[in-house]
Structure 1
Amino acid sequence: MRFKKQKRHRKTVRFFSVNFGFRQPFKVLCDGTFVHHLLHNDLTPADKALSNCLSAPVMLFTTSCVLAELKKLGAAQSASCQAARKLAVARCDHEKKVSADACIEEVIGENNLEHFFVATQDADLRKKLQKVPNVPLIFGLRNALFLEKQSKFQDDFVKSSEEKRLHLTEKEFKALEKRITSDSANVDEEDSVDEEGLGHHNPGLQPHITRNYSGKEGDVKDRVRFKRKRAKGPNPLSVKKKKSRENPNRASGKEVKGDDGNAEGKRKRKRSRKGKILAGTDGAVQ
């Protein structure tokens, strides 16, 4: 049962985060009834209990009108008043203090710009805030805290806003229509210029002036022609290495002498005598 509750809470938190931009740490606006419920059921510390409910870090807030209302209740709510004073105070701009539910409604407004989660035990206040699109509600039941599922009004609001994003507004439609008409007018002007010739339709359009260039500049053509890249030489990886032409004997420091005793650069050829020996054997057989 606890796992299902956490799964449902995560789904609700994801709904408000994706559609309305709620970000961690979540801000929770508490009234006096909720603070009293936390103390009465030993759900302390409050920030830990709420972070477990939302599976995320939280910041707790209240208003000066809520503190004033708890103070008016006297000693019966003194512990709740002291606990509420430890919370951060959200600005409500009420010179003359009003009731807690009226103050919270005014702080939330129509758009909940501060992205508050509202924690209250007041059922009437929760019903009123269910008609505001982006207000998630938290309440306590005995020793457990619950995050209310988004109301039908909030679901319908999200669906209608998604449909509006898919369609053009009146302003966007007029701008698009104006652009289409201007583009069609430009196309008609270009067609008329092509039929009648340049310079007759629009004085702002001037024909291209060709200049006479001398020398190499006269060979310049109107259209740019890209040169095709060609291989400038053989691939060095596919070419065999060149053999050195130096005399191996000269490189080794040896000299070959001829018949006259002079050193020669040429290498002396050795002749084989196999041919002569074969010729001699043939004569002997005969």
Structure 2
Amino acid sequence: MRFNKQKRHRKTVRFFSVCFGFRQPFKVLCDGTFVHHLLHNDLTPADNALSNCLSASVKLFTTSCVLAELKKLGASQSASFQAARKLTIARCDHEKRVTADACIAEVIGEHNSEHFFVATQDADLRKKLQKVPNVPLIFGLRNALFLETPSKFQREFVKSSEEKRLHMTENEYKALEKRTTSISANADTEDSSDKEGLGCHSPGLLPHNTRNYSGKERDIKDRVRFKRKKAKGPNPLSVKKKKNHENPNLASRKEVKGDDGNAQSKRKRKRSSRGKRHAETDGV
């Protein structure tokens, strides 16, 4: 249940943010009834309770007429008066004090230029403000705060404004009509000049860029030329023949052809030192 309420509140906040440009921190205009409800149900501090309701940071406001009304009520509303005095005072420009609901309705006006959220327990005031397109309303029920969904009037206002954006206004239509007529007039003058020849130029004179060229050459030069890629030869490194790596042991041997014509390997004879010693002893 709590998750559904938060989801509904986020959807409503997104509606007013996208359609009417509400931005954080949201400004909440409170009257005396709402301040009394917060104190009576221990919903303090008030800024934390409202920020949890809107899932965003808030700034709380009230008017001097609301403070004057709470002060007139005497000791029964002294705590509400002291709490309301801590809020930021919104400018109402009333020389003579008026009732709180009339003051808030006048501060909001027809367009709510200050982008206020209105927090009140007055049902009549909420019904009155539902007819203003961009006024989100907050009220309390026991120990919970609720953000009212957009009214039918507010939804229809947004839908009609979107349809108006899709169509051109009278000024835009007139500007477009003038532009089309001027373009068509220029096109007619160009066609007439083409039929006459070169227009203001004399027939004996030709433009500088076409004076020394024939029609064929001009056509050829005007065409877009693409460079064709020529076929290139193979990579010489990839065509290079492989080297025969001979075995160093076999390379040391020399090939010798025998009588039968077959190749024979010539081996060197190793002479031992024993033979020399025997020859020396025999000579002695």
TM range (shorter): 0.7 to 0.9
- The change in CA–CA distance for 1:229 and 1:64 in structure 2 (over 3 A counts) is farther
Which residue in the other structure is 2:160 paired with? 160
Which residue in the other structure is 1:209 paired with? 208
CA distance in 1, matches of 2:211, 2:169: 56
Which residue in the other structure is 1:274 paired with? 262
CA distance in 1, matches of 2:186, 2:237: 60
CA distance in 2, matches of 1:105, 1:71: 20
Which residue in the other structure is 2:43 paired with? 43
TM-score (norm 1): 0.74
**Offset from partner CA, 1:37-92 (integer Å, 9 cap, x none):** 11111111111111222222221111222122222222221111111111122222
Classify the secondary structure of the residue corresponding to 1:111: coil
Which residue in the other structure is 1:182 paired with? 182
Classify the secondary structure of the residue corresponding to 1:133: coil
Within 5 Å, give how 1:246-265 maps onto structure 2: none
CA distance in 2, matches of 1:167, 1:44: 49
CA distance in 2, matches of 1:146, 1:100: 21
Deviation at 1:33, TM superposition (A): 0.9
CA distance in 2, matches of 1:15, 1:91: 27
CA distance in 2, matches of 1:84, 1:120: 13
Classify the secondary structure of the residue corresponding to 2:110: coil
Which residue in the other structure is 1:197 paired with? 197
CA distance in 1, matches of 2:27, 2:36: 19
1:273 is matched by which residue type in structure 2? G
Which residue in the other structure is 2:131 paired with? 131
Mark the runs of 5 or more structure 1 residues left unpaired by the alignment: 214-218, 244-271, 276-286
Deviation at 1:212, TM superposition (A): 7.6
Classify the secondary structure of the residue corresponding to 1:273: coil
CA distance in 1, matches of 2:162, 2:59: 30
Classify the secondary structure of the residue corresponding to 2:135: coil
CA RMSD of aligned residues (A): 3.7
Within 5 Å, give how 1:1-286 maps onto structure 2: 1-200=1-200, 208-210=207-209, 223=222, 226=225, 228=227, 230=229, 239-240=237-238, 273-274=261-262
**Offset from partner CA, 1:222-274 (integer Å, 9 cap, x none):** 647646264697576x744879xxxxxxxxxxxxxxxxxxxxxxxxxxxx933
CA distance in 1, matches of 2:64, 2:207: 77
Aligned pair count?
A: 250
| Identical-residue share of aligned pairs (%) | 73
2:198 is matched by which residue type in structure 1? L
Mark the runs of 5 or more structure 2 residues left unpaired by the alignment: 213-217, 242-259, 264-284
